[in-house]
Structure 1
Amino acid sequence: MGKPILEVKDLRVSFKMYAGEVQAVRGVSFTVEKGEVLAIVGESGCGKSVTAQTIMRLIPSPPSVIKPGSSILFDGKHDIAKMTESQMEHVRGNDIGMIFQDPMTSLNPTKTVGAQISEGILKHTKATKAEALQRSAELLTLVGMSNAQERIYQYPHELSGGMRQRVMIALSLACNPKLLIADEPTTALDVTIQAQIMDLLRDIQKKTDTSIILITHDLGVVAEMAHKIIVMYAGKVVETGTLNDIFYNPKHPYTWGLLRSVPRLDSDKNRELDSIPGTPPDLYKPPVGCAFAARCPYAMQICKEVDPEHFDIDGKGHSAACWLNHPDAPKVELPVGIGRGAHG
């Protein structure tokens, strides 16, 4: 696809608290190509949102600390990890846009929708107020809102949840960013509106060729949109691959657990949805071996003693940090209803 628009290398982010240091992100690396949709999935507390907000440099420091050696290379030349706040002001909203989880708390209740969308346009371009307001109406039309000329004079509380999320998407697209980060954009919405928002993001991506990082805990949400998926657990990437790799040939037991928690139309109607037993590890003091070992039904002694490196699966970018992929590991069959064959 060419040179990546974003390269994250060995990203480590900690929070220094009274009780100690929370190692929220522990050596995360990935790339996003131009026009690509990358999904970052995992349960709550795995480090997805911290990773996304660190890319935007939105996490206050202190208490957060980006550890030495971390690199966030944007557009091949800017290391976001080393940028000052004044430099980041030129990046946020202009080169990188972000859609937040809850539009009701992310939008300013005292300003009209048009004024909030116009703010970024006025800051990063030479547009007049009238031109910025007209651009705001055009963006609202782009994201599927009717009567856009009237909507720009309304306040967030006058809109439904789905409409507010469309405003957030319009706001993030105001300056034609090269990269869009969507942090669980459908969390607070009902299922029907979720589908509409995902369809909208897919259409916008195709029309504008914008790269998108989609943060979610729901693999079902990304099934029709993502080109590449990374699965996070306890602040680390445990598996990465294409959409087909993760859905049809997953190689990490945590990914299996996530997949078995998603309802499928083609599965046995009497099969109960699985849950992953136990709780994530305490990141004040991460475990020595594999962080998932305590919850994994396939854990071996080595899993509890040595943290696995990523094993290359196919030589085409699919990898998983699981000792079951070692040539000497016992063969394990994929759980019923997952993938298309045996693991190993």
Structure 2
Amino acid sequence: MSKLLEIKDLYFSFDTFQGEVEAIRGINFEVNKGEVVALVGESGSGKSVTSQAIIGLNPMPPGRYKQGSINFDNKDLTSISEKEFQKIRGAEVSMIFQDPMTSLNPTMKIGTQITESLIKHQGMSKSEAKQRAIEMLGLVGIPNPDKLIYSYPHQFSGGMRQRVMIAIALACNPKLLIADEPTTALDVTIQAQIIELMKGLQDKLHTSIILITHDLGVVANIAQRVVIMYAGKIVEQGTLNEIFYESRHPYTWGLLESVPRLDSKEHGRLASIPGTPPQLIDPPKGCPFAERCEFAMKACIEEFPEETTLSSSHKVSCWLEDPAAPTVERPVQSGGHV
């Protein structure tokens, strides 16, 4: 598969009154054409900052690209102007945000919000853009789209608004779609419908997708590869099967064990990872997960581990991979049926 996006040694910081917040600290991953890659981690792990760095939506200042590159379709996005970004956003890279009610303009009709990008990026006439908007609303499962294009966002349910957001994002046939926790504000039934919709559209349109989530149950249904982030770093990445069944980082194990399971003997009790992520205004010099890790050693506190390549797709940064480290048995339940 050919690469569409390649992020190399990316550092992104925010300058605040208290000091520098190192939100992204040297991450490396890629997205191939037609592939779905999931970025997974707790709140504050750097997932959304990464996605907004790709599309140039982090406010600068206080944000800034500190080091590294974001190569999208043979163009480094860290060195282009805001004017160039405006040509790319919506046309080549689109984004679905967490809450459609705050992302959609409450004063504009749904149809207008879809057609404006078509007129700007595709050069369509108003009548052509309107017809395309109706087609897109039908494609994402909105009934009677020829009538509902004249409706306002408040007249739709949460699930319908998210479908409208997907229609807007896909209207110009972008090469890359970034979905930032697209099911967070929805109930479980609607979540499943939205994921099925995205799967169907991805199969049909062959759009590459970066799915940002903390829910591994969602990941299991759509992603081909998974990138695990923690405290601005990537601690493990691999194919879906490698992460669910052969994961090697204790943080990944913790995330997997926190997924509700029907076959669990601990009825009514969910596993959790004790402690909280570190503050990135003063990040630890060692492994950022060390304070919360039951397997932490002295080396974990003192230095961040080098990345270990386990296969062509599976990589992990953990001192447990060092030949001198004690043997640790992987928790049995990790990677079970989700």
The match for 2:69 is: 71
C-alpha distance after superposition, 1:53-74 (max 9, x if no partner): 1101011110001113x20101
The match for 2:274 is: 277
The match for 1:174 is: 171
Which among 223, 246, 249 is matched to residue 246 of structure 2? 249
The match for 1:37 is: 36
Which among 313, 316, 330 is matched to residue 312 of structure 2? 316
Partner of 1:12: helix, strand, or coil? Answer: strand
- Measured after TM superposition, the shift of residue 238 of structure 1 is 0.3
The match for 1:113 is: 110
Amino acid at match of 1:320: V
Partner of 2:325: helix, strand, or coil? Answer: coil
CA distance in 2: counterparts of 1:216 and 1:231, whole angstroms: 10
| Contact 2:195 2:221 survives alignment (8 Å) | no
The match for 2:133 is: 136
| Contact 2:142 2:160 survives alignment (8 Å) | yes
**TM-score when normalising by structure 2:** 0.97
The match for 1:60 is: 59
CA distance in 2: counterparts of 1:287 and 1:317, whole angstroms: 27
CA distance in 1: counterparts of 2:230 and 2:53, whole angstroms: 17
The match for 2:191 is: 194
C-alpha distance after superposition, 1:86-137 (max 9, x if no partner): 1111100000111011100000001000000001000011211011011001
Is there any run of 5+ residues in structure 2 with no aligned partner, and where?
none
C-alpha distance after superposition, 1:180-225 (max 9, x if no partner): 0000000100010000000000000000011000000111111021
Partner of 1:224: helix, strand, or coil? Answer: helix
Amino acid at match of 2:246: N
CA distance in 2: counterparts of 1:151 and 1:327, whole angstroms: 62
Amino acid at match of 2:32: E
Q: CA RMSD in A?
A: 1.1
**Superposition map of 1:209-248 within 5 A:** 209-248=206-245
CA distance in 2: counterparts of 1:170 and 1:289, whole angstroms: 43
CA distance in 1: counterparts of 2:217 and 2:265, whole angstroms: 17
Amino acid at match of 2:150: Y
Residues paired across the two proteins, number: 336
Which among 78, 82, 87 is matched to residue 84 of structure 2? 87
Partner of 1:67: helix, strand, or coil? Answer: strand
Amino acid at match of 2:71: L
Is there any run of 5+ residues in structure 1 with no aligned partner, and where?
none
CA distance in 1: counterparts of 2:271 and 2:321, whole angstroms: 23
Amino acid at match of 2:34: G
Partner of 2:12: helix, strand, or coil? Answer: strand
- Measured after TM superposition, the shift of residue 265 of structure 1 is 2.5
Amino acid at match of 2:189: T
The match for 1:14 is: 13
The match for 1:155 is: 152
The match for 1:335 is: 331
